[in-house]
């Protein structure tokens, strides 16, 4: 279905649109919902979401860390400091890997994290995870003091007991002492562990990483313990077997940056071509030019087929024509771009595929993947080894650092029972979680921004983590805790330990200070490692059961560690746009087989429930008909159904770990059963039939002109444009839909979290939405993303509507929103063709916990009830830059003002600047032949424009 | 033979008695009391609703982005529409010298007053911060900011206020002579004082009548364009936006006609009820109903033309978004409101081609009711179908009326009826002196043969 | 004390007889006449030569005042605090005229109404006429002709006699 008038391709957004089916009867039914509507917004929900109104001692009294300890970032990024903000270079952690950031601190409180522009890996960008890490710091539900079997205790008690154990361990060399550790990259911590093992030879360290499975690391099995690092900037042809390298994770920023280097304005001959085979739609698949959705059990077949084409194996049979075609094309693409070819396989894949990939890449003259010496801790054993040992009664003491096996463990391991068999269990974590509940001791850990440590980014570059706020609670750093295992008497504090470790590595005090200032230590990149891939036979195994079940981390809260983070919960999942829930994804065909009609009912997001059963265990959740999902495959998402984490994360969604076995953590077989009842699912992109009137322009190449409609003429003379004309250009060819911009905006602009009910009502407050668009048949659609902030129209319809001058135009071309003048007629939003305005239907802000208030940006008004709000182009940053420029008696420099969304974007899809200055980056991009305005025919003259997506004709 | 507006049987005195007794010796005490109690209960519901509304915020309604206008605004249009008939009947027919007007205009005007009051309340309670509604007026504010006179909302405020004032004045100068009549009939001292004060000491002097008449006609002359302008402006509240389904030049006439249409229906309903309850069959004759029904039919057909043209307008534009909106109106999830409007507004109406139906109070009442309901749906349809899917699919969203939407609306019905009931109870509900005038003229004609 | 005679009041039972009587009385040279009727009687103004055109003019004046008054306000507020609204000109005449029109109407209605009451000397809750026994019928179904004592030709005896000759229902004297 294509648009009646228009040059671009027509895009659809949901299945009703594509199918064009909408039963009148059910809409009538849906139109008169029962009076349950009455209590639509209950206050408790709101409170819960705002982090509850617990008064928090400690927060209000927080002071900056002692100035002789922490050293401010000297080369301050120009523009956004006006005499009272400090920027400290430090890092937050994702899966133990460093995400280098600059923390903007006001009055001793970090209020925003930006990427460290000098760091070789991130180059100033951040992922949504790094942005959201800030809220974890202020989470009022964080664990605040040590607990002994759930009862309040203090560190004194713990130390006292520790002394006894330490003496005992000294005697027996730590016999029966086991560490279960979530992934860490901290050189200091790893060194401490080594020294601990040296002191107590019988100690063994086990890794607990639900995002990598529970057994031995397949990569290690295949090619040895190395750290693979993609260099996508070197890849012309990429074939990914279920490797979601653009998806959420510690390497997202690095990969996205590499990816972007071969898109956007790069000529077609240089553009990356991605062939993606995946068992369930992912961000990477959405960005692929040649995507195929296949059941997990087919993945080895495809691998074998490619191997055959590459001459790495014998031809195999049993592929469908479609699969064969895809494998063929993929292999040819690899062969035709030797030296710039990359075959990558997901961490979900068995060892033989990793081996195959390594070998294939070698054959193809690999430049696009580096194998580095391990950056993260290399454990003595896996979680399953530990389980075995506990069952064998060999474990006397278990110390769990950031690990939560009671929740995130496999369903066929009853950790609670195991814990009972261990005389001493100590759990250290940020929250009093499911594991803490079954452990003897629970010890609160500090947030990364609260205490000293160090960590390495995916390329191995080491950052010293310096605290930017006094610890909010009575916590103790992992370093101190570990030191406690060997030291009698008071263990040293984290700074001492870290400083001492680096004293040996760094030349002198200056080098240390330099490391603190710049945020990383030069020359700490991980060394290349040699790999020894041994060719293994590819196993073809079809799991039992009539359907295959794919188990994946949730796109936003992942393994569940983000469950209590309101920003993550309300962040729309990139593809489904679902918030506050995990769904069960099945294909349209499978759905109709189960007699589940349509997708969500068009008039509301009430969706039918479905039960997924596997090996006698089952979960029930809302069904989601997922375009691109292979038939006969159901995807369940981890991270929800938390039983103990905090008010935000508890009791929402279903717990997919129930289907996860130690043997098959990623895919299994089972059955689907449609069950009665419906669930309310809050999506930010509701399901509607669409008459094909939605267009997203595409052009065949970077230099091709998009025939954008000319600006409407106006009879009005118009106002004189000052020397500043702010504008934004968004390159839809670079946008990968990762949502970093949304979280960055939320953090910068005090955008409230409103909760599931409000989102369901259509009242989400995000100033920026990332529109997800499909094209083609739902079986395997093309997908693209289009971020939509305020357009700051030069001829703004909204301004005409306001009776009280509450939204007007500034001389530098901003569409201003004057909160304290707004009386809430909402005419502006009614007249806005882009519907980018957001309204405070209730008082969303004043109930926030003190700790949440502590995070707020003092430069941005906290909006009260009954006023309209919207994207301001981060006017506080603009004004800050102007002030700075005035002080220095110069005009504002290009690039001096970065909006929050722009600064976070890993692919630099967003450019902001002064359009009046022809030399500015923004003006430059705006002059691109791909430039177009959204709904130009309305004559609103948007200041935010887009660059058309590039879709070259296939070079088969 | 010519049909008379009033039966010759009546004498001038009988008219004074028939009508004058309504306030003085109220004929239908019990039904009135029941009605009053019900309507006061509704007022109670209204008070509860807006108390909750003011305490929590407009979020208690089902509104969202994109559908951030619904009940309050569509009812504002609806109430105002109901009101217009009062002024139109009075003013237009006065100018056209339509005798039959006299038996209807008084309570039609009163109905206008009550409806305009309701219409005025709606946009104020719909504000996000209603306590600042006065910011819409140009007063020297601390911050030095003034209202924005390019905004259709700003226009509406002035339009509604003007309309409220004018309809009140028009009604009051019309009622003064009758208050005098009742004053002179009143026996109880309390009534004498009451009517004495409000009749301002009217004596029926020829000098006074002369000025009064010039003044009354002047106001009538001005009231007609006022009605047209007021509802045109209401329509601009939508037409000024670029939203598909709103951005059309047909809106002003389309809205004015629809308003008159619903208004006449409302007048017909009330006329029938009052005629029945107060046994005013002698004054509100079948002929009145018949003419009213014809006007209803005529304005209905004009509104139907508006429907047809609006659709044609959208299709002819060739604009993909306009066409999509029309499609949504036909088949979207609010299609019930579109087809409901078409059904209730036009199907039963066709029965009015038959004289027998026009003169059958029961049927006429039913048809009028259906029209009022139909127009309600139409106004709802115009708002929601345009807003819920405008341009960018990523912003599409659905609106459901919440409990508080309904309770506020239903309560508002009480706010309409309470003052109206008071009016029929205490004020001559039919123009006494004008009926006498007509009767006199008819006697005259009768004598001349 | 003796009450002062204000005038004489003659009662007729329909408007025709009243009109005839009025004509006759004017022929007699009486000028200070008035009539009291339950409704405005067709042709009475002509007979009594009462034509007050000021009402119309008041309306015109009020209309103009309203229109230009409001326009002045709009021009002032936009000049006083000029703001860029949707890139539209500061002086948005088409938009301004909408409200100007409304206020014009408001003025054109209020002035004649207020003027009418003022010229009629209303409100005036008491008037000697109300004391005359049968006067209350003036608002019911009787028609009264009134000759004021201030009329140069007025003479209580003669005037009453003359009025009686017009075959009224009653003739009464109106006393203060």
**Where does CATH 3.30.70 sit in chain C?**
5-51+123-175
> What pLDDT does A709 receive?
76
Residue A807 contacts B where some CB pair is shorter than 8 Å = no
Reply yes or no on whether the pLDDT at A25 is more than 50. no
The neighbouring-strand residues paired with A675 are A609
Contact criterion met (CB < 8 Å) for B144 and C115: no
Q: Do B57 and A37 touch (CB under 8 A)?
A: no
Touching check for C94 and chain A: CB below 8 Å? no
Query: Nearest by CB to C87, which of A802, A805, A809?
Result: A809
pLDDT, position B166: 92
Closest by Cα among A728, A700, A734 to A264? A734
Please give the angle made by the CA atoms of B223, B228 and B234, to the nearest 5 degrees.
Answer: 120
- For residue A487, the model assigns a pLDDT of 79
Chain A's closest residue to B62, CA to CA, is: A761
> What values do phi and psi take at A344, rounded to 5?
-130, 145
Contacts of C89 in chain A (CB under 8 A): 716-717
Q: Do A804 and B145 lie within an 8 Å CB cutoff? A: yes
- C94 at interface of B, judged by CB pairs closer than 8 A: no
Kindly report, residue by residue over B260-307, the tens digit of the pLDDT.
899 889 888 888 887 787 766 666 777 888 888 998 999 999 999 989
A60-113 pLDDT, tens digit per residue, is: 333 344 444 455 454 444 444 444 578 889 999 999 999 999 998 887 788 999
Residue partners of A168: CB distance under 8 A and separation at least 6: none
Report the gap between the CA of B337 and the closest CA in chain C (Å).
Answer: 31
Shortest alpha-carbon distance between residue C90 and chain A (Å): 9
Q: Which of B145, B154, B180 sits opposite C81 (nearest CB)?
A: B145
| Residue C84 to residue A809, Cβ atoms within 8 A | yes
pLDDT (0 to 100) of residue A407:
94
Backbone angles phi, psi at A866, to 5 degrees: 80, 10
Tell me the Cα Rg of chain A.
27
Measured over the CA atoms of residue A818, residue A819, residue A822 and residue A825, the dihedral's sign is: positive
Q: Is the pLDDT of residue A568 over 70?
A: yes
pLDDT along chain C (176 residues), means of 10: 73 81 82 82 77 85 94 93 90 91 93 89 80 77 81 78 80 78
Do residue A808 and residue C89 have CB atoms under 8 angstroms apart?
A: no
Q: Using DSSP bridges, classify how beta strands A462-465 and A633-637 pair: parallel, antiparallel or unpaired.
A: unpaired
> What is each CA distance from A27 to A31, A32, A309, A597, A625, in whole angstroms?
6, 9, 52, 13, 19
Q: In the complex, which subunits touch B with 3 or more CB pairs below 8 angstroms? A: A, C
pLDDT tops 80 at residue B100: no
Would you say residue B211 has pLDDT above 70? yes
pLDDT at position A920 over 80: yes
Interface test with B, best of C22, C116, C127, C133 (most B CBs within 10 A): C116
Cβ distance A879 to A860 under 8 Å? no
Strands (E) located in A567-645: 578-579, 584-586, 606-614, 617-625, 633-637
Cβ–Cβ contact A326 with B under 8 A: no
**Minimum Cα–Cα distance from B246: chain A residue:** A831
Q: How confident is the model at residue A47 (pLDDT cuts 50, 70, 90)?
A: very low
* pLDDT surpassing 90 at residue A687: no
Structure tokens at B246: 């709103």
Q: Could you tell me if A244 and A574 are in contact, meaning their C-beta atoms sit under 8 angstroms apart?
A: no
pLDDT digits 0-9 by tens, A584-626: 999 888 888 888 765 443 445 678 889 999 988 999 999 988 8
The CATH number assigned to the domain with range C5-51+123-175 reads: 3.30.70
Residue A559 has pLDDT above 80, yes or no: yes
**B12 vs A662 pLDDT, higher one:** A662
Q: Kindly report, residue by residue over A785-844, the tens digit of the pLDDT.
A: 999 999 999 999 999 999 999 999 999 999 999 999 999 999 999 999 999 999 999 999
Q: Are B129 and A824 an interchain contact pair (Cβ–Cβ within 8 Å)?
A: yes
pLDDT class of A13 with cuts at 50, 70, 90: low
Residue C172 CA: distances (Å) to CA of B57, C48, C134:
69, 21, 9
Enter the tokens of residue B248.
């059309």
Query: What chain A residue is nearest to B149 in terms of C-alpha separation?
Result: A803
Q: What is the pLDDT of residues A75-87, one digit of tens each?
A: 444 444 444 578 8
Q: Residue A924: is its pLDDT beyond 90?
A: yes
Across the interface, whether the CB atoms of B243 and A833 are under 8 A apart is answered: yes
Tens digits of residue pLDDT in A700-747: 888 888 887 777 777 888 888 888 999 999 999 999 999 999 999 999
pLDDT (mean) for A397-422: 92
Q: Which of A327, A297, A284, A324 is nearest to A630 (CA)?
A: A297
Q: How many CB atoms lie within 10 A of CB C166?
A: 17
**Chains with at least 3 CB pairs less than 8 angstroms from chain A:** B, C
CA B376 to chain centre: 12
Cross-sheet strand order for the sheet of A341-345: A290-293, A273-278, A237-241, A341-345
- Which among A22, A803, A865 is the nearest to B57, CB-wise? A865
Contact assessment for residue A452 and residue A477, using Cβ atoms and an 8 Å cutoff: yes
Write the pLDDT tens digit of every residue in A260-310.
999 988 888 889 999 999 999 999 999 999 999 999 988 999 999 999 888
Contact (CB<8Å) C86/A809: yes
Which distant-in-sequence residues (6+ apart) come within 8 Å of A401 by Cβ? A179, A180, A181, A182, A184, A428, A445, A478, A481
Interface of C with B in 16-55 (CB under 8 A): 16, 34-42, 44-45, 48, 50-53, 55
Confidence of residue A33 (pLDDT cuts 50, 70, 90): very low
Query: Is the minimum CB–CB distance between C124 and chain A shorter than 8 Å?
Result: no
Confidence of residue B224 (pLDDT cuts 50, 70, 90): confident
CB contact under 8 A, A843 and B57: yes
Asked if the Cβ–Cβ distance from C102 to B159 is below 8 Å, we say yes
The minimum CA-CA distance between C139 and chain B, rounded to whole Å, is 5
Of the residues A804, A847, A937, A939, the best mutation for testing chain B's interface (the one with the most B CB atoms within 10 Å of its CB) is A804
What pLDDT score was predicted for residue B423?
85
Q: Is A378 part of the contact surface with chain B (CB cutoff 8 Å)?
A: no
Distance between CA B3 and CA A947 in Å, rounded? 75
- CA dist B371 and A199 (Å) reads 91
Which residues on B lie below 8 Å from A817 (Cβ)? none
Q: Residue B85's pLDDT is what?
A: 81
Q: Which residue of A has its CA nearest to B154?
A: A803
| pLDDT at site A537 | 83
The answer to whether the Cβ–Cβ distance between A693 and B324 falls below 8 Å is yes
Classify residue B69 as exposed, middle or buried by CB count within 10 Å of its CB (0-12, 13-18, 19+): buried
3-class DSSP state for residue A762? coil
Angle (CA) B91 B96 B99, round 5°: 90
Interface residue C87 vs chain A (CB under 8 A): yes
Confidence category of residue A641, pLDDT binned at 50, 70, 90:
very high
Kindly list the residues from chain A whose CB atom is less than 8 angstroms away from the CB atom of residue B64.
761-763, 841
Beta strands A381-382; A151-152: pairing state: unpaired
pLDDT band at A192, cuts 50/70/90?
very high
CA distance A805 to chain C (A): 8
How far apart CA A207 and CA A193 sit, in angstroms, is 13
Nearest to C103 among B12, B162, B197 (CB): B162
What is the average pLDDT score of chain A? 85
| Predicted pLDDT at A504 | 84
User: Which chain A residues touch C84 with a CB distance below 8 Å?
Assistant: 719, 799, 808-811
* The pLDDT of residue A29: 37
pLDDT at A540: 80
Q: How far is B18 from chain C (nearest CA, A)?
A: 12
Do residue C122 and residue B208 have CB atoms under 8 angstroms apart? yes
pLDDT of residue A50: 42
Sort out which chain A residues have CB atoms less than 8 A from C88's CB and list them.
716, 795, 800
Residue A113 has what pLDDT? Answer: 92
Instruction: Report pLDDT for B127.
Output: 93
Higher pLDDT residue, A568 or B283? A568
* Strand partners for A370: A229
Q: Which of C105, C111, C143 to mutate to test the interface with B (most CBs of B within 10 A)?
A: C105
- Tell me the CB-side half-sphere exposure of residue A473, using CA atoms within 13 A: 25
Residue A386 pLDDT level (bands cut at 50, 70, 90)? very high
Q: Which of residues 867-896 of A touch B (CB under 8 A)?
A: 867-868
The β-bridge partners of A944 are A728
Query: What pLDDT sits at residue B48?
Result: 95
A680 at interface of B, judged by CB pairs closer than 8 A: no
Q: What pLDDT, on the 0 to 100 scale, is given for residue A41?
A: 39
Tokens of A331: 């292999």
The shortest C-alpha distance from C93 to chain A (Å) reads 12
Mutate to test the interface with B, among A742, A797, A809, A824 (most CBs of B within 10 A): A824
pLDDT of amino acid B430: 74
Strand locations in A95-220 (E):
97-106, 109-115, 147-148, 151-152, 177-181, 204-207
The CATH number corresponding to B12-448 among 3.70.10.10, 1.10.510.10, 1.20.1630.10, 3.20.20.330 equals 1.20.1630.10
User: pLDDT grade, residue B24 (50/70/90)?
Assistant: low
């Amino acid at each position: 279905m294509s648009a009646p008038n228009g040059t671009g391709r027509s895009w659809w957004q949901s299945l009703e649109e594509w199918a064009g089916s909408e039963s009148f009867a059910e809409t009538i039914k849906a139109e008169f919902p029962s009076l349950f509507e009455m209590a639509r917004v209950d206050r408790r929900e709101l409170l819960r979401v705002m982090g509850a109104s617990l008064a928090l001692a400690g927060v209000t009294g927080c002071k900056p860390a002692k100035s002789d300890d922490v050293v401010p970032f000297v080369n301050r990024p120009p523009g956004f400091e006006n005499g009272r903000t400090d920027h400290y270079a430090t890092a937050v952690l994702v899966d133990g890997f460093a995400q280098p950031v600059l923390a903007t601190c006001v009055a001793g409180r970090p209020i925003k994290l930006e990427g460290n522009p000098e760091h070789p890996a991130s180059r100033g960008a951040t992922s949504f995870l790094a942005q959201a890490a800030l809220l974890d710091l202020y989470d009022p539900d964080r664990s605040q003091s040590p607990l002994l079997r759930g009862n309040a205790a203090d560190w004194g008690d713990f130390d006292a007991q520790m002394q006894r154990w330490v003496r005992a361990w000294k005697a027996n060399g730590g016999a029966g002492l086991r560490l279960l550790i979530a992934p860490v990259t901290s050189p200091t911590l790893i060194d401490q562990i080594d020294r601990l093992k040296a002191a107590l030879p019988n100690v063994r360290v086990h890794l607990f990483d639900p995002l990598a499975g529970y057994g031995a690391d397949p990569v290690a099995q295949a090619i040895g313990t190395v750290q693979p690092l993609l260099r996508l900037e070197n890849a012309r042809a990429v074939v990914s077997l279920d490797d979601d390298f653009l998806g959420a994770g510690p390497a997202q920023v690095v990969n996205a940056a590499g990816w972007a280097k071969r898109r956007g304005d790069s000529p077609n001959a240089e553009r990356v071509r991605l062939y993606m085979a995946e068992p369930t739609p992912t961000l990477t698949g959405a960005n692929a030019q040649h995507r195929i959705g296949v059941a997990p059990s087919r993945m080895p077949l495809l691998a074998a087929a490619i191997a055959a084409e590459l001459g790495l194996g014998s031809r195999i049979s049993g592929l469908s024509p479609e699969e064969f075609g895809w494998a063929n094309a993929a292999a040819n693409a690899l062969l035709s771009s030797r030296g710039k070819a990359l075959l990558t396989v997901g961490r979900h894949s068995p060892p033989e595929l990793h081996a195959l990939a390594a070998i294939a890449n070698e054959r193809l003259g690999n430049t696009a993947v580096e194998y580095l010496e391990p950056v993260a801790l290399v454990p003595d054993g896996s979680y399953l080894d530990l389980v075995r040992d506990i069952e064998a009664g060999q474990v006397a003491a278990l110390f769990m650092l950031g690990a939560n096996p009671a929740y995130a463990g496999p369903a066929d391991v009853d950790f609670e029972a195991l814990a009972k068999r261990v005389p001493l269990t100590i759990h250290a974590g940020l929250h009093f979680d499911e594991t803490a509940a079954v452990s003897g001791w629970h010890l609160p850990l500090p947030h990364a921004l609260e205490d000293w440590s160090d960590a390495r980014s995916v390329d191995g570059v080491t950052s010293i983590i310096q605290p930017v706020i006094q610890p909010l609670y009575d916590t103790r750093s992992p370093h101190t805790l570990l030191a406690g295992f060997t030291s009698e008497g008071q263990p040293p504090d984290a700074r001492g330990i870290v400083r001492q470790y680096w004293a040996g590595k760094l030349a002198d005090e200056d080098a240390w200070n330099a490391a603190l200032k710049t945020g990383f230590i030069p020359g700490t990149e991980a060394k290349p490692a040699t790999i020894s891939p041994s060719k293994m036979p590819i196993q073809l195994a079809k799991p039992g059961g009539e359907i295959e079940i794919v188990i994946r981390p949730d796109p936003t809260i992942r393994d569940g560690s983000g469950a209590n983070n309101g920003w993550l919960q309300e962040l729309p999942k990139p593809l489904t746009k679902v918030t506050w829930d995990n769904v069960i994804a099945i294909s349209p065909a499978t759905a109709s087989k189960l007699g589940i009609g349509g997708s969500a009912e068009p008039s509301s997001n009430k969706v039918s429930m479905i039960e997924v059963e596997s090996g006698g265990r089952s979960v029930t959740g809302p069904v989601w008909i997922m375009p691109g999902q292979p038939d006969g495959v159901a995807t369940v998402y981890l991270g929800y159904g938390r039983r103990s984490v905090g008010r935000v994360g508890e009791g929402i969604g279903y717990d997919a770990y129930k289907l996860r076995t130690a043997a098959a953590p990623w895919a299994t077989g089972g059955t689907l059963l449609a069950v009665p009842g419906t669930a309310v699912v809050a999506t930010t992109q509701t399901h509607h039939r669409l008459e094909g009137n939605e267009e997203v322009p595409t052009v065949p190449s970077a230099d091709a002109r998009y025939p954008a409609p000319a600006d409407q003429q106006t009879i009005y003379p118009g106002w004189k444009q000052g020397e500043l004309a702010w504008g934004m250009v968004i390159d839809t060819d670079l946008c990968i839909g990762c949502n970093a911009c949304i979280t960055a905006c939320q953090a910068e602009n005090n955008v409230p979290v409103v909760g599931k009910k409000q989102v369901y009502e259509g009242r989400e407050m995000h100033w920026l939405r990332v529109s997800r668009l499909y094209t083609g048949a739902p079986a395997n659609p093309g997908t693209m993303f289009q971020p939509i902030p305020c357009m700051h129209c030069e001829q703004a319809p909204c301004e005409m509507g306001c009776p009280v001058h509450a939204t007007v135009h500034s001389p530098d071309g901003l569409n201003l929103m004057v909160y304290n003048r707004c009386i809430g007629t909402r005419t502006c939003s009614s007249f806005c063709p882009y519907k980018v305005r957001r309204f405070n239907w209730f008082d969303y802000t004043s109930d926030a916990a003190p700790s949440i208030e502590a995070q707020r940006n003092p430069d941005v008004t906290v909006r009260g009830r009954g006023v309209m709000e919207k994207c301001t182009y981060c006017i506080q940053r603009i004004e800050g830059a102007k002030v700075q420029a005035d002080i220095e008696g110069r005009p504002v420099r290009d690039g001096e003002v970065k909006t929050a969304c722009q600064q976070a974007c890993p692919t630099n899809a967003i450019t902001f600047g002064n359009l009046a200055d022809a030399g500015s980056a923004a003006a430059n991009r705006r002059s691109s032949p791909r430039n177009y305005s959204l709904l130009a025919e309305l004559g609103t003259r948007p200041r935010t424009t887009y660059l058309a997506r590039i879709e070259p004709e296939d070079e088969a | 033979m010519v049909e008379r507006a009033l039966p010759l049987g009546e004498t001038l005195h009988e008219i004074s008695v028939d009508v004058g007794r309504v306030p003085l010796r109220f004929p239908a005490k019990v039904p009135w009391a029941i009605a009053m109690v019900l309507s006061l209960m509704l007022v109670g519901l209204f008070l509860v609703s807006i108390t909750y509304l003011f305490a929590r915020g407009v979020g208690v309604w089902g509104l969202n982005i994109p559908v951030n206008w619904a009940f309050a605004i569509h009812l504002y249009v609806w109430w105002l529409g109901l009101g217009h008939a009062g002024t139109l009947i009075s003013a237009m027919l006065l100018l056209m010298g339509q005798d039959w007007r006299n038996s209807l205009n008084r309570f039609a005007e009163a109905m206008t007053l009550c409806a305009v009051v309701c219409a005025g309340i709606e946009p104020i309670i719909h504000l996000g911060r209603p306590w600042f509604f006065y910011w819409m007026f140009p007063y020297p504010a601390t911050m030095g900011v003034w209202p924005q006179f390019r905004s259709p909302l700003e226009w509406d405020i002035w339009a509604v206020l003007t309309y409220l004032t004018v309809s009140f004045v028009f009604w009051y100068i019309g009622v003064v002579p009758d208050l005098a009549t009742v004053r002179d009939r009143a026996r109880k001292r309390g009534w004498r004082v009451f009517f004495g004060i409000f009749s301002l000491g009217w004596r029926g002097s020829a000098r006074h009548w002369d000025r009064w008449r010039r003044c009354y006609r002047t106001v009538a002359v001005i009231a007609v364009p006022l009605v047209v302008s007021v509802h045109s402006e209401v329509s601009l509240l939508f037409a000024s936006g670029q939203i598909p389904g709103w951005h059309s030049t047909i809106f002003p006439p389309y809205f004015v006609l629809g308003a008159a249409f619903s208004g006449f229906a409302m007048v017909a309903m009330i006329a029938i009820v009052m005629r029945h309850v107060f046994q005013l069959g002698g004054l509100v004759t079948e002929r009145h109903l018949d003419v009213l029904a014809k006007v209803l039919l005529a304005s209905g057909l004009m509104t139907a033309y508006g429907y047809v043209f609006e659709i044609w307008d959208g299709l002819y534009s060739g604009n993909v978004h306009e066409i999509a909106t029309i499609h949504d109106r036909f088949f979207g999830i609010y299609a019930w409101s579109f087809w409901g409007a078409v059904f209730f507004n036009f199907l039963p109406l066709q029965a009015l081609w038959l004289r027998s139906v026009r003169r059958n109070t029961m049927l006429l009442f039913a048809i009028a009711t259906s029209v009022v309901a139909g127009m309600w749906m139409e106004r709802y349809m115009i708002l929601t179908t345009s807003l819920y899917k405008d341009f960018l699919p990523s912003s599409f969203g659905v609106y459901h009326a919440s409990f508080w939407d309904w309770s506020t609306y239903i309560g508002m019905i009480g706010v309409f009826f309470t003052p109206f009931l008071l009016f029929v109870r205490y004020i001559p509900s039919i123009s006494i002196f004008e009926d006498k005038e007509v009767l006199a003229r008819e006697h005259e004609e009768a004598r001349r043969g | 004390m003796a009450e002062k005679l204000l005038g004489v009041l003659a009662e007729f039972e329909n408007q025709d007889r009243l009109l005839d009587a009025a004509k006759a009385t004017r022929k007699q040279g009486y000028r200070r006449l008035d009539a009291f009727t339950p409704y405005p009687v067709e042709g009475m103004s002509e007979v009594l030569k009462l034509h007050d055109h000021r009402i119309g003019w008041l309306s015109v004046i009020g209309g103009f005042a309203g229109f230009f008054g409001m326009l002045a306000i709009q021009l002032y507020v936009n000049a006083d605090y000029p703001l860029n609204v949707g890139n539209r000109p500061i002086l948005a005449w088409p938009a301004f005229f909408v409200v100007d029109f409304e206020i014009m109407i408001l003025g054109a209605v209020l002035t004649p109404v207020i003027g009418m009451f003022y010229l009629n000397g209303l409100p005036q809750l008491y008037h000697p006429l109300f004391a005359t026994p049968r006067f209350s019928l003036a608002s019911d179904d009787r028609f009264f002709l009134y000759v004021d004592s201030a009329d140069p030709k007025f003479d209580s005896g003669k005037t009453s006699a003359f009025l009686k000759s017009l075959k009224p229902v009653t003739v009464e004297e109106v006393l203060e």
